[in-house]
Structure 1
Amino acid sequence: MLSDVLGLSTAESETYRALISVASATPAELAESVGREARQVVCILGVLEDRRLATRSLGDPTRFVASPPAAALQALLRQRQNELKRAELELDSLDKIYRSAALGRGVGDVIDVIHGTEAIRERVGQIQLGARKEVMNFVKAPVFVVGNRTDGAVIARGVRYRVVLERPVPENAMLNEGVPSFDEIARARAAGEEVRFAETVPLKLFIVDREFAIVPLLGRTDAAPAEALLVYSSSLLDALIALFESEWEKATQFVTSAGALQNASGIDDLDAQILSLSLTGLTDQAIAAQLRGSLRTVQRRVRHLMDVAKVQNRVQLGFQAARLGWLEAERDAPGPHEATATATRRKTVPSVATPSENSPRKL
């Protein structure tokens, strides 16, 4: 529609289309053709004249003729293109101002200190909302930033999310407070996040666009941090990025369906989920709790996985799973900013993983 592309209103677009279909027309004739009042059509013709899309007939000034679309609309299109270019330049300028103001730093600063848990939460949400390319996150218990509302919208823009989760501590419920459940992780993956597990992660960390990072400063292990470092482009930020990449490569893949496993036959979705949780170091009891199933079922499935892998214990199962390359497809998959990869991942997530714009973002 011309109204969409060139900025004409629906009424203006309809009137112009009616006018180019006849040699000439009076306002009354056009009003009857488009089903509008003659008074309204007179005003519309005035707009079309101003835009050089219509002109009065030389032989009869009471009649109007349409300007040739190829000439008139090309000029209008070029005008719109120029406006869009100016808008892009203005947007880039505004974005730089916004990002600088949002981060609250001076040009020469390398590190700022954020004081107060609420201020840290607010700043994490703010820089996440401004993410353009990639977010990298270490999640280490206890979690204090939960459920930032921007994840789904940011991922939908094409931002890649990579998360390394420290596995829960079975014997310490306090340390596990806020740690995402299996269902939450599955929803996050369905929304486009790439999730891996590690025995431990060295620190809480949140990196955006490889331009800045937030590092909460922890005191007692059971308390939320009261301060955090905001690190800008520097050798320190480079070191934090390298640390994330190193831990990401070592972390265990997290799968939610058998379709995500490679070179594995005789394994269904529940087997794949139990294998994934088992490789994170969780006990059978903890796996049963995560999947809301029975301990006996988990133990039976683990035994089945050992039989498939032709091993005798869980340590050998982990080694054999790695040797057989069951998880290699996940490791080599491109990020969710590539639409095809995202679509493929979503197809492999079981029904429990309903996509949500509120997928958990934790720190």
Structure 2
Amino acid sequence: MNQLCEEGSRLYAAALRAGRITRAEAEPAPCLMDFALLHPDPDDPDRLRPVPPALALAQRLNPLEREITERRQLATDIATAFEPFMSINGQSAQGGGSITVLEGGDRINTALNLATAQCHAEMLTVQPSDRVSERSVLRGLERDRPLIERGVRIRTLYQHTARYSPEKLAYAAELSDGKVEYRSIDELVERLIICDETVAFIPTRDDQQVALELRHPGLVRYLIKVFEFMWDRAVPLSAGGRYETAPDGITEIQHSIAKLLVEGHVDEAIARRLGMNVRTCRAHIAKLAQALGSGSRAQLGYLIAQSGILDRER
């Protein structure tokens, strides 16, 4: 099991606040025991105590760390085996670079692993929000840690919703040091990875099963400029929450939603662009409508435009 179920998350939080829960209360969420987040209370056999989050996280990451070490050695061996061919590829690409279509997750990950194994200066990544599993955490750790150990600078852009993701915050805390920076911004359209200003990867399908490997110098330079444009407007992940309420009663996230509503985007598109589920997006729209006194969706767009909230400095 790689995901903590929704009921398990709720009960674990309740157990942390109360210091314990009954065995009967824990029964609807067997994932709590699967994740070893509860242990018997020595003073009361009918109750369970929560394992501290820091300890639980360490217990989950330790086996990943061991696997990372093994895979790191495998990645090094593969990179060494392919090294003689890279100069040949470089010579053939000098006439204008190359664009390679990568189909399938395995081939995409193989190309990413090779590119990061050869990265020596800086890696730039744009990571729109999604559900984080142990598998994706493992892939991120096994790619990023060797880069950090080689002194490579890493800059990653998330959406503001990452500030409310314990997995992303734990991942950032695990890797953060002087050469690793994480920032967030309200909107990100698509994933992007750039290594050493020489190769970039972008997806071409929503299911992430087809990607382009770009080695054309002009395209890579253009994508770097796009990244720097977003980076300059982003906020350090360590700067705290970005959903504060402004004097007009509209939060930052509701401000972003209002802008997209006026542009004509539907709920599903807004949720996707802001990295949240549709239900959460609609809850924010309802609060926005309440704050502006709107009685209908059509009226809401008009009131947003008339309120001046889109004119305020952000």
The TM-score bracket by the shorter chain reads 0.3 to 0.5
**Per chain length, whose mean CA-contact separation is higher, i.e. which structure has more relative contact order (CA < 8 Å, sep 6+)?**
1
Decide which structure has the larger Cα Rg and report it: 1
TM-score, with length taken from structure 1? 0.39
TM-score, with length taken from structure 2? 0.44
